[in-house]
Amino acid sequence: MSEAAHHEEHPTGISRWLFTTNHKDIGTLYLWFAFIMAVIGGLMSLVIRSELWAPGLQMVDPHFFNQMTTVHALIMIFGFVMPAFVGLANWQIPMMIGAPDMALPRMNNWSFWILPFAGSLLLLSFLAPGGGPSAGWTIYPPLSVQGGAGMDFTILAIHMLGISSILGSINIIATILNMRAPGMKLMKMPLFVWSWLITAFLLIAAIPVLAGAVTMLLTDRHFGTHFFDAAGGGDPVMFQHVFWFFGHPEVYILVLPAFGVFSQIIPTFARKPLFGYTSMVFATATIAFLSFIVWAHHMYTVGMPLSGELFFMYATMLIAVPTGVKVFNWISTMWRGAMTFETPMLWAIAGVFTFTLGGLSGLMLSITPADFQYHDTYFVVAHFHYVIVGGSVFALFGAVFYWLPKWTGNMYDETLGKWHFWLTFIGFHVTFFPQHFLGLAGMPRRIPDYALQFAEFNVISSIGAFATIAVQLIFFYLAFKAMRGGEKATDQVWEGAEGLEWTVASPAPYHTFATPPQVR
Amino acid sequence: MSMNEKKSLTGVRFTGIASRLFAALVLITFSGLAFAEYALNFQRPVTAIAQELYGLHMLIFWICVVIFVIVFAFMFYSIFKHRKDKGFKPATFHESTTVEVVWTVIPFLILVGMAVPSTATLLKMEDTRDADLTIKVTGYQWKWQYEYLDHDVNFFSNLSTPREQIENKAEKGENYLLEVDNEVVIPVDKKVKLLVTAADVLHAWWVPQLGVKKDAIPGFINAMWTKVDEPGTYRGQCAELCGKDHGYMPIVVNAVSEDEFNAWVKSKQAEQVAMAAEAGKTFTQAELMERGEKVYAQCVACHGATGAGIPNVFPAITGSPISTGPVDAHIDIVLNGKPGTAMQAFAAQLNDVDIAAVVTYERNALGNSVGDVVQPADVKARRK
């Protein structure tokens, strides 16, 4: 007993969080950081949707509107979704593979504590002369060479976020490859762990490429180079190639861990083992590989050679095959299971459903000639919100409700959880479904004002956005309530749950698996 | 004529049996419904390529719908039947090589089926050979320049929607944000080649009904082509984020008969000759101020209607060192712009009279009162 108490010992107050090397504490920090960033990014989306409520300029000037679309995207991608999944990785991977902690705990502390500084730097750009970055999150030159110091703040923030991600990835790979409990062979690992292993390799390969691109941008801005300036022998399109060589793996960095979450939740609530474990692993690896050879489908209209357009179209279409395999596997896992529909399961099903819609619109976008009509319209905006919100964010909600009882020891309020799910799910589709029509009818993205024929669907979309953001207060309340108390969770929490994390107490003790478990 | 009417009813001309089948499906599904003002799909195509794109788009769309319905029929069946609260006992199967091979191979074959027509269309789109007419299109922040390389016609095309409509001080017109001062005029049934480039940042030239979109990239020239079937006015917008007024640089294409086109070319050429003749004249300050106020409309996007600019982003005209200092420096910056900023070189965009007028206006209006008058000859002298 005294030894157990000793194990729980840690500094209190702010120093606990500043100096912690505990994977659970750091996981919590990541999740809170992601939550705060999501609130900020969400409020920015409301500025965008307010301006788009009606044709004409009513709320903000176009320059500020461009800053909002740019920073909303950067915050949601780099500040919210990526850190949130790293938070889940920190909490869950050691517990799922029977390790006492992450392999490199001090580096773990550092990789988190870079983030608040990077996030602040990005937000401080609004105070720079000329305001925040306004060239879109893709920061294409020459436009991004024009902006004020806000762009330099952004470039440095991207560097810091990148360093944090690389450190986090190294840690995740080192943990998974070295610290699995005896008997936990690679092909026995839970799918969430597999997804993160592959994601971490993607991060290590992709982030330095982004770092290179933004560094060249920085030297073009200040040190007289002409990497992206045709007048000096450079090429603006080269930035796009380099950026998307990072950018396409990035979308899988955002969504592969979500696939891992679906693969944990669905078998639990179907009370049936995951269908096609091996093909799931190989499909994930195939997607990761393909993600490196399809980048130029983001830039079909730049005037590539015909052979290039054909190659990138065929390669992009191919991604539908492994992605389809995953969806079929999830549905086969549900098939003839004994399903119940607690909140995590609702999120997982909604995630598969919504992500698949986004995947199918992605298939439409992959068709080069058709993309000449879709490109840079609201159809694209609808598509990537379907995959990133519908895939990644829905998975995050599912994961939080799935593991919250393990983290806090208390069950959340199931009725309210379902309310939150349904309101968010409906709100999301009201917001983004009409954007498909707007794009097809010809509304370009990133405009603060639009022609009259786009008015009706924009109103619907704005109503959906306000409703969706407002109901997140329920989530806030739910999470707090579960942290403070409630019905006690059992160790296994869910009837169908399997895996090492469900063998430890709820709430999970400060240190778990000081002695490694034996996996059969 | 009846041909045109028929096309406008169905919207599309289809080729191929598969497309015909899908077209029938589309009609059955959509024709009975009144969508009022809700535009749900592509604008009506008016070129063979745009029609092919529409057909391709609908083909892929319906394939996706069919896949979606089949896949999720399984899921929803499972959700309603395989529930614990219905006492369903879980099965234990977790793999089947046969079905896994099947659902890898079938999607692959579907993809091959989609790739074939897509490739065919793309080959046609990218074939810019044998054009009857070539127009060079240059994107600027935030306007388009059109140079008819075969006819020596050259002009700029600016948004013509009044500022009051944008600021919600006047009722918005029918073509709000989709109207310009100088339309691109092209002849119908001629292959028009468009060479697209940009002077400052990236832009993209897009007219949905023509089915053409290409990025305009400074230092590089992209080629595309269009051949419009029916006379009419077709509207589009810049599709690549190009800074503050990205939403305010529309494209209007006016497709006319060959005779009308030739007449239009003549009138444009005459206009240009008349403008050149003006350059030798000496103007009064009042004349220059009146004309300068009109030219200043091109400056409003950045420097503001009152000359206040946007602090730290776009400099003010009012009381600025340039517009109150030596006149030569003022003429120079208008002629040559300021590299690395949104201030573009107007030397090629405006003639000597316009530049003389706008510089005079900026120095004697917008809160400034330097008192000097700039003549076209002064501008000519500063041109390099």
Let me know how many helices (H) and strands (E) chain B has, helices first: 12, 10
Look at residue B214 and give its three-state secondary structure. strand
Between the CA atoms of B60, B61, B67 and B71, what dihedral angle is there, to the nearest 10 degrees?
150
Q: Tokens 């810019």 label which residue?
A: B128
Residue A334 scores a pLDDT above 80: yes
**Mean pLDDT score, A361-375:** 97
* Confidence label for B222 from pLDDT (cuts 50, 70 and 90): very high
**pLDDT value for B20:** 53
Taken in order A342, A345, A346, A347, the sign of the CA dihedral is positive
- Where along chain B do the CATH 2.60.40.420 domains lie? 133-276
Q: How far is CA A284 from CA A88, A188, A193, A361, in A?
A: 19, 15, 12, 20
What's the distance, Cα to Cα, between the start and end of chain B in Å?
54
Least Cα separation, residue B140 to chain A (angstroms): 12
On whether residue A452 sits in a domain, the answer given is yes
**Mean pLDDT score, A190-205:** 97
- Alpha-carbon gap, residue A187 to A505, rounded angstroms: 26
**Mean pLDDT score, A482-500:** 94
Residue B218's φ and ψ, nearest 5 degrees, are -60, 130
What's the distance, Cα to Cα, between the start and end of chain A in Å?
29
Q: Tokens 């075969």 label which residue?
A: B150
Q: Tokens 């694209």 label which residue?
A: A380
The verdict on domain B279-382 having CATH code 1.10.760.10 is yes
User: Pick from B94, B175, B244: which is nearest to A63 by CB?
Assistant: B244
Pair of tokens at residue A245: 């060589």
User: Pick from B43, B64, B85: which is nearest to A360 by CB?
Assistant: B64
Give the number of domains in chain A: 1
**Mean pLDDT score, B189-206:** 96
On whether residue A513 sits in a domain, the answer given is no
On whether residue A230 sits in a domain, the answer given is yes
* Confidence label for B2 from pLDDT (cuts 50, 70 and 90): very low
User: Pick from A274, A341, A367: which is nearest to B60 by CB?
Assistant: A367
pLDDT single digits (tens) A455-475? 999 999 999 999 999 999 999
**Mean pLDDT score, A364-378:** 97
Residue A435 scores a pLDDT above 50: yes
**Mean pLDDT score, A259-280:** 96
**Mean pLDDT score, A438-452:** 96
* Confidence label for A448 from pLDDT (cuts 50, 70 and 90): very high
User: Which chain B residue has the Cα nearest residue A433?
Assistant: B40
- Look at A337-341, A349-353, B363-367 and tell me which has the smallest mean pLDDT: B363-367
CB contact under 8 A, B201 and A146: yes
**pLDDT value for B300:** 85
User: H or E segment at A246?
Assistant: helix A236-270
Q: Count Cα neighbours of B10 within 13 Å in the Cβ-side half-sphere.
A: 19
Look at residue B156 and give its three-state secondary structure. strand
Domain extent, residue A269, equals 2-502
Neighbours of B295 (CB within 10 A): 23
CATH code for position A420: 1.20.210.10
- Alpha-carbon gap, residue A492 to A502, rounded angstroms: 5
Residue B177 scores a pLDDT above 70: yes
Q: Which residues of B touch A278 (CB under 8 A)?
A: 95
Say which CATH architecture domain B133-276 belongs to: Sandwich (2.60)
- Where along chain B do the CATH 1.10.760.10 domains lie? 279-382
Least Cα separation, residue A167 to chain B (angstroms): 33
On whether residue A509 sits in a domain, the answer given is no
Residue A1 scores a pLDDT above 50: no
Residue A227 scores a pLDDT above 80: yes
Maximal C-alpha separation, chain A = 73
Average pLDDT, chain B: 87
Q: Cis peptide before B142, with omega less than 30 degrees from 0? A: yes
Average pLDDT, chain A: 95
Residue B36 scores a pLDDT above 50: no
Q: Which residues of B touch A301 (CB under 8 A)?
A: 204, 213-215, 239-240
**pLDDT value for A7:** 59
Question: Best mutation site among A153, A220, A323, A376 for testing chain B: the one with the most B CBs within 10 Å?
Answer: A376
Percent of chain B with pLDDT over 90: 59
Pair of tokens at residue A64: 């500020």
Given CB atoms, is A225 within the 8 Å cutoff of chain B?
A: no
Residue B108's φ and ψ, nearest 5 degrees, are -60, -45
**pLDDT value for A12:** 83
Contacts of B345-351 with CB under 8 Å at 24 or more apart are B345/B199, B347/B383, B347/B384, B349/B140, B349/B145, B349/B156, B349/B298, B350/B295, B350/B298, B351/B275, B351/B276, B351/B278, B351/B279, B351/B376
* Confidence label for B12 from pLDDT (cuts 50, 70 and 90): very low
**Mean pLDDT score, B268-272:** 90
Contacts of A225-232 with CB under 8 Å at 24 or more apart are A228/A141, A228/A142, A228/A145, A229/A141, A229/A142, A229/A145, A229/B219, A230/B217, A230/B218, A230/B219, A230/B220, A231/B218, A231/B219
DSSP state for residue B38 in the 8-state scheme: -
pLDDT single digits (tens) A41-97? 999 999 999 999 999 999 999 999 999 999 999 999 999 999 999 999 999 999 999
- A234 contacts A135 by C-beta, under 8 angstroms: no
**pLDDT value for B22:** 54
Q: Which residues of A are catalytic?
A: 72, 101, 137, 164-165, 248, 250, 252, 263, 297-298, 323, 326, 445
**pLDDT value for B10:** 39
**pLDDT value for B21:** 54
- Alpha-carbon gap, residue B368 to B356, rounded angstroms: 16
Maximal C-alpha separation, chain B = 96
- Alpha-carbon gap, residue B136 to B194, rounded angstroms: 6
Look at residue B213 and give its three-state secondary structure. strand
Pair of tokens at residue A173: 């790979």
**pLDDT value for B128:** 93
Percent of chain B with pLDDT over 70: 90
- B23 contacts B58 by C-beta, under 8 angstroms: yes
Q: Count Cα neighbours of B176 within 13 Å in the Cβ-side half-sphere.
A: 22
**pLDDT value for A303:** 94
Nearest 5°: CA angle at A7, between A5 and A11? 90
**pLDDT value for B19:** 55
pLDDT single digits (tens) B70-112? 999 999 999 999 999 988 899 989 889 999 999 999 999 999 9
* Confidence label for A99 from pLDDT (cuts 50, 70 and 90): very high
**pLDDT value for A130:** 86
CB contact under 8 A, A142 and B200: yes
Q: Which residues of B touch A451 (CB under 8 A)?
A: 175-178, 235
* Confidence label for B49 from pLDDT (cuts 50, 70 and 90): very high
Q: Which residues of B touch A273 (CB under 8 A)?
A: 92, 94
pLDDT single digits (tens) B310-364? 887 888 999 888 988 898 999 999 998 887 677 888 888 888 888 999 999 999 9
Question: Best mutation site among A238, A447, A450, A458 for testing chain B: the one with the most B CBs within 10 Å?
Answer: A447
Higher-scoring residue by pLDDT: B29, A162: A162
**Mean pLDDT score, A475-480:** 94
**pLDDT value for A284:** 97
Given CB atoms, is A449 within the 8 Å cutoff of chain B?
A: yes
Look at residue B52 and give its three-state secondary structure. helix
CB contact under 8 A, A442 and B166: no
Q: How far is CA A363 from CA A356, A443, B293, in A?
A: 10, 20, 51
**pLDDT value for B18:** 54
Taken in order B132, B230, B225, A138, the sign of the CA dihedral is positive
**pLDDT value for B3:** 41
Given CB atoms, is A127 within the 8 Å cutoff of chain B?
A: no
* Confidence label for B44 from pLDDT (cuts 50, 70 and 90): very high
